[in-house]
Amino acid sequence: MARILVVTPNPAVDTTYRVAEQRVGESHRVLEVAQRPGGKGINVSRGLAALGHESVNILPLGGATGDWIAAQLEELGLAASITRIAGATRTCVAVTDPVAHPTVFNEPGPTVAPREWEALLADVRLRLADAAMLVVSGSLPPGADASLITALVVAARDAGVLSLLDVSGESLLAAAAAGADVVKPNAEELLAATGTTGLDAAITAAQALGARLVVVSRGAHGLVARDGDTRYSTPAVPGIHGNPTGAGDAATAGLAAALVDGADVAEALRWAAALGAAAVLRPVAGEVDLAAFHRFLSTQTPTTE
């Protein structure tokens, strides 16, 4: 099976504090602490691994936090190709309780020098020769230009490899304009990037820029997609409660795995919805309940318009 390359432009050490109840402006007794290698792309890679797909994490890492992430990826059995950078990799904190939506504090990340980005791009170009798909997921660190996203999409196209971009803002527009095979924003990200007021108009705008398949996650309202003039949708799995942090990344993993396996768009949306819901059942982002995924998959009914 050809491997999937997963680029995480802005990885992090993700720390999750579990408390009894979140109260703004008060001290909290932390009941449990969990740490894991984070960043959207790493979460995608873990979801792919759960589905039996081999991936290679391509990411810039620096400082003691970067060393810790590298060691953790090795311990998890996730292949990684690391571009060493001078800056220290960021730390992000999520605070969870049994009722409220998690409160998340995301550090901006280090400045990555142009020569460091060039080294990462060279690594991607080399590895595309035997890849099945290139996935780019997550934000760019401070000072990084959206031209990096353009270069990644062009490299995949030149190598004849599918590209799937789960990015936002200027990066989303750059991915679409570069002709990405798949862009997968959430509804808020797509509306903000395109400056439109309706989802159909936003999808049309992304396609007009050059994106082939536009997949939009809508949380509890499921996913919609458009490939050319054909529109697809699949509902969210009902009655799911838990930690939604990382559910979108799991959905990206499900979408990527299905497309690499040759599934059509409707089937790929089913995989995305089912794996996203299976991630909500786990306490920290990056994990999925595989038994629940298979159970949810059997109940998903996509539609084509």
| Whole-Å CA distances, 290 to 143, 180, 223, 244 | 38, 29, 20, 16
Taking Cα atoms as reference points, which of 115, 119, 118 lies closest to residue 81? 119
Catalytic residue among 14, 166, 249, 289: 249
Q: Which two tokens stand for residue 111?
A: 């400045």
Per the annotation, the verdict on 227 as an active-site residue is no
Distances (CA, A) of 294 to 236, 272, 297: 15, 12, 5
Enzyme catalytic residues: 249
